[in-house]
Structure 1
Amino acid sequence: MSETMRAIDIKNGTGPATALFINGQTPKPVPTASQALVRVKAFGLNRMDLLQREGKYPVPPQAPKTLGVEFSGVIEALGSTSEASFKVGDAVFGLAYGGAYAEYIAVSTHMLVHKPDELSWEQCAGIPETWITALQAMYLVGGFAPGASILWHAGASSVSIAGIQLSRADGAAGVYATARQDDKVRWIEDTLGADAAFNSTTSDWVQGVKDATNGKGVDVIVDFVGADFFQPNLDAAARDGHIVNLGFLGGTKLDGKGVDIAAFIGKRLRYEGSSLRSRDEAYQGKLRDRLVEVALPRFISGEFKIYVEKVFSFDQVVEAHQLMESNKTKGKLIVTIP
């Protein structure tokens, strides 16, 4: 058996999308006792991949240098202490600390899920990172409960697409979203079924949220923007609201932004940042179990949809990254490996 494989590498270690290339001499991973070696069929792109490619993402120490955290494929080997429910030849999908942009990945069996026959390789490769992140933000950090209202920023992003579906299925009093393009706003309302979506660049979305909630504001806000939305989030939140920050698309510095933090006391707000990739395996494993319990049956029944914007071949990974950088997508970008 060959000790090397094909994997996506980066010329000079970091760089633009055009620095990506297929390295046919990448060492093939060797699974540890609790891991499986999976032959990758497809992997999903995430915005963290762009940041990591540019050298701007803090990669966990246990992660390989190869990009990619979600994938689908077939188990080719198992370690001695892997979960008993998995065997060689099983079709699976899962979450990893890194290494998914490759023909093979070694990953803990605690982060694998059996692939249902009803879903394609491409669909399954787009589930783990986005849906687990949405579950974590909504429930573990945001404290969502049925009857609460919720606002998802970047509403056409994969995490928010998952979150909007989860919110509607679990009895949210109101589901709201923002996006930066009118066609995305319409799509969020018409296709995903949000109660209202707002163009955050051309409208007063804070006032729109207040009008939609009869002045109350929203109970949970999931934000990927950061500094630019810090004050608006405080204004849009309801009393005892929770604001969950997952990203900094709008920067990290509040200098000169006229921030008034009175709402933290006046509304008793909680603002909390979170991440998934830096969490330990036990934490991620619990979220894997929740995904299987809460979402997997609804994927199989068709109630939950995995929206795949476009599928690329392995040698089109540069084009895939460039499309993600354009911010014009609605849903997942997937790469398949023949």
Structure 2
Amino acid sequence: MGIVEQTNDEEKLPLGQKVVSIMGEMGRAFDGSYAEYVLLPNDQIYPIHTDLPWAQLAAIPETYYTAFGSMKNLRIQASDQILVRGATSGVGVAFAKLVKAQFPDIRIFGSTRKAEKGEKLKEAGFSDYIEDPNGILDTEETFDKILELIGPATIKDSLSHIREGGVVCSTGQLGGKWFLEDFDPIMELKHNSYLTTFHSSDVSGEKLNELLAYIEEKGVAVEPEKVFMLEEVAQAHAFLQSQDSFGKVIVLDPSAVGEQASE
């Protein structure tokens, strides 16, 4: 995300326009990674309209976009009891904040492999936490809606904790397993439950601006857990790979901080 510095489409992408790009094989099909400037095809650059400061804005795509799409697909109601599987991830924390902004009294639980992160989950807005040390939830509790961020490694166990007519949204694959094997839909969905998903490649400018409007209207606290400067990329990755990793981490261009301070 950033500001248009050069353009060949003055109508859609005028100079100075705030923009976001997510997915699109950046760093794979297109060279480069962390940089002050990036060159991308116009059809994967989306103009946005927001007054959020850069440090907050940088925390939103694609973490909050993924969480928002999953929230919509789960069709949440105020009476639901919700579980987030893999809750300490950036998407898990973002999801809880988005849901709580609309339904402040809703019951939302988060699973974690490490009990010591449980209190941080409650600080982030979760009602409580459930230990999940070996891919099996340490509870007999059941839920109306489950956001599955670990993926195929735990989805069968998640389905065993869904209530009659409930919905599981399989969005993440944090468990390192990419495919679901030996899946019998008749037996696994025997509680008349529903299985859906969300993929952030389903993106448009309209959907991104819908998310930004929701965040501003509901006053969602989107501050990242940690902010690193561009020259601190190594420290950012070290934190993400450490046992202390929690929530969303961003790397910010120092020039953006300067511009923001001068506004």
State TM-score, norm by structure 2.
0.78
Change (3 A) 1:110 1:335: closer
- Within the candidate set 136, 140, 143, 2:75 is matched to 143
- Within the candidate set 170, 187, 199, 1:275 is matched to 199
Show the counterpart of 1:288. Answer: 208
| Larger fraction in strand | 1
Cα distance per residue 1:12-43 (max 9 Å; x no partner): xxxxxxxxxxxxxxxxxxxxxxxxxxxxxxxx
Letter of the 1:231 counterpart:
K
CA RMSD between the two structures: 3.0
Whether contact under 8 Å (2:136, 2:154) holds in the other structure is no
Change (3 A) 1:81 1:148: farther
Q: Displacement of 1:170 after TM fit?
A: 2.2
Alpha-carbon distance between aligned partners in 2 of 1:295 and 1:168, rounded to the nearest angstrom? 12
Q: Secondary structure at the match of 2:227?
A: strand
Asked which structure has the greater CA Rg, the reply is 1
Change (3 A) 1:248 1:124: same
Alpha-carbon distance between aligned partners in 2 of 1:173 and 1:313, rounded to the nearest angstrom? 36
Show the counterpart of 1:242. Answer: 167
State TM-score, norm by structure 1.
0.62
Q: Secondary structure at the match of 1:102?
A: coil
Query: Runs of 5+ in structure 2 lacking a partner?
Result: 28-32, 255-263
Q: Secondary structure at the match of 2:221?
A: coil
Query: Runs of 5+ in structure 1 lacking a partner?
Result: 1-70, 211-216
- 1:135-214 mapped onto 2 (5 Å cutoff): 135-139=68-72, 141-171=73-103, 173-189=106-122, 191-201=123-133, 205=137, 207=139, 210=141
| Structure with greater contact order relative to length (CA < 8 Å, sep ≥ 6) | 2
Show the counterpart of 2:5. Answer: 76
Letter of the 1:313 counterpart:
M
Alpha-carbon distance between aligned partners in 1 of 2:110 and 2:151, rounded to the nearest angstrom? 16
Show the counterpart of 1:312. Answer: 228
Q: Secondary structure at the match of 2:3?
A: strand
Change (3 A) 1:102 1:322: same
Q: Displacement of 1:157 after TM fit?
A: 1.4
Task: Report percent identity of matched pairs.
Answer: 23
Whether contact under 8 Å (1:122, 1:336) holds in the other structure is yes
Letter of the 1:111 counterpart:
Y
Whether contact under 8 Å (1:74, 1:89) holds in the other structure is yes
Greater CA drift, 219-228 or 129-138: 219-228
- 1:5-24 mapped onto 2 (5 Å cutoff): none
Q: Does 1:131 align with 2:49?
A: no
Q: Displacement of 1:259 after TM fit?
A: 8.0
Q: Does 1:322 align with 2:238?
A: yes
| Corresponding pairs, count | 243
Alpha-carbon distance between aligned partners in 1 of 2:106 and 2:98, rounded to the nearest angstrom? 13
Q: Secondary structure at the match of 2:146?
A: strand
Show the counterpart of 2:46. Answer: 111
